[in-house]
C-alpha cells in the first residue's frame, strides 16, 4: 500500500505482513510514513517491508517514467529510524512488461534487445551497510520471450517487451535478497495460453477449456522460477 490507512486496514483484517511504499515521497516523508506503519504493525506482531529508491514502469495504475537507485548512504538511517523488517531497494529493476526502452538497450548478434545490467555495486554497498538485513527486489519479471512470441503470434501486440535476465536474478538470489517480486511473467504465461486456445479452437467458449491450460502454463512458469532461478525449492 501507499498509505497508512490502507496498511492499517490490512493489519486489522489479519494480514501477517504488509508493505508500505513511500518511495515516491521526499526522504523524510518516506521515513515518517514507514515508521507510522511500523509502529502500528509491530503492536500486532505484523512485519513491515519498506521501500527506498524509485522504480520506473507501471504498477497498479501508478506509473513513473524514471528510476532512482537506492542511495546506500541512506539505508542505515532509514532502517534504524523506521524499524522496518525488510527493505525493497532500486538497482535497475522496473515494473511491467516494458521495463526498458530500446534506446536503453543494446542488441545482440541476433538483433534481440539486451537490457542494461542491474547495479550490483549498489546492492553490494547496501549489504555492506546493513549486513544480514533482508533485502527485496520489486519489478523483477524476466518477460519470457517465448510467451511474448506466442501472444504476438496469436493476435497480441507486445513489441519490444523485455525484462530482467534470469541469470541476474540467480545472482541476486544468492545475496541478502530474500524476496523477489515477479508478476508480469505470470500474466504473460496466462495470456499466451488463453490466446493459443482461442486461435486454435475459435469455437471454444467454455472457460474451463482455456483457463485450465492457462493455469497449467502458469504452474510451469512458477516451477521453473522456484527451481531454476530463485533457488528456493524445498526451503518453505
- What confidence tens digit (pLDDT) does each residue in 212-233 have? 999 999 999 999 999 999 999 9
Within 106-183, residue ranges assigned H as helices are: 120-129, 145-153, 166-173
Give CA–CA dist 117/101, Å, rounded.
14
- What confidence tens digit (pLDDT) does each residue in 5-62 have? 999 999 999 999 999 999 989 999 999 999 999 999 999 999 999 999 988 655 554 4
Distance, C-alpha 194 to centroid of its chain = 23
Q: What pTM does this model have?
A: 0.88
Give CA–CA dist 37/12, Å, rounded.
12
CB-based contacts of 233, cutoff 8 Å, min separation 6: 226, 227
Amino acid at each position: 500500500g501507499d498509505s497508512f490507512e490502507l496498511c492499517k486496514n490490512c493489519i486489522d483484517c489479519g494480514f501477517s505482513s504488509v508493505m508500505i511504499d513511500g518511495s515516491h515521497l521526499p526522504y523524510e516523508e518516506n521515513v515518517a510514513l514507514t515508521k507510522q506503519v511500523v509502529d502500528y504493525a509491530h503492536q500486532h506482531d505484523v512485519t513491515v517491508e519498506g521501500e527506498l529508491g524509485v522504480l520506473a514502469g507501471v504498477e497498479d495504475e501508478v506509473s513513473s517514467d524514471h528510476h532512482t537507485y537506492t542511495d546506500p548512504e541512506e539505508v542505515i538511517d532509514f532502517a534504524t529510524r523506521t524499524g522496518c523488517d525488510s527493505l525493497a531497494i532500486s538497482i535497475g529493476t522496473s515494473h511491467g512488461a516494458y521495463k526498458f526502452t530500446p534506446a536503453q538497450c543494446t542488441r545482440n548478434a541476433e538483433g534481440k534487445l539486451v537490457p542494461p545490467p542491474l547495479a550490483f555495486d549498489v546492492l553490494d554497498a547496501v549489504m555492506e551497510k546493513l549486513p544480514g538485513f533482508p533485502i527485496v527486489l520489486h519489478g523483477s519479471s524476466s518477460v519470457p520471450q517465448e510467451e511474448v512470441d506466442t501472444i504476438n503470434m496469436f493476435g497480441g501486440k507486445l513489441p519490444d517487451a523485455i525484462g530482467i535476465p534470469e541469470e541476474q536474478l540467480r545472482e541476486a538470489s544468492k545475496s541478502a535478497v530474500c524476496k523477489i517480486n515477479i508478476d508480469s511473467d505470470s500474466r504473460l504465461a496466462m495470456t499466451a495460453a488463453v490466446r493459443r486456445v482461442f486461435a486454435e479452437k475459435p469455437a471454444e467458449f467454455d472457460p474451463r477449456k482455456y483457463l485450465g491450460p492457462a493455469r497449467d502454463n502458469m504452474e510451469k512458469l512458477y516451477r521453473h522460477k522456484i527451481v531454476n532461478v530463485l533457488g528456493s525449492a524445498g526451503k518453505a
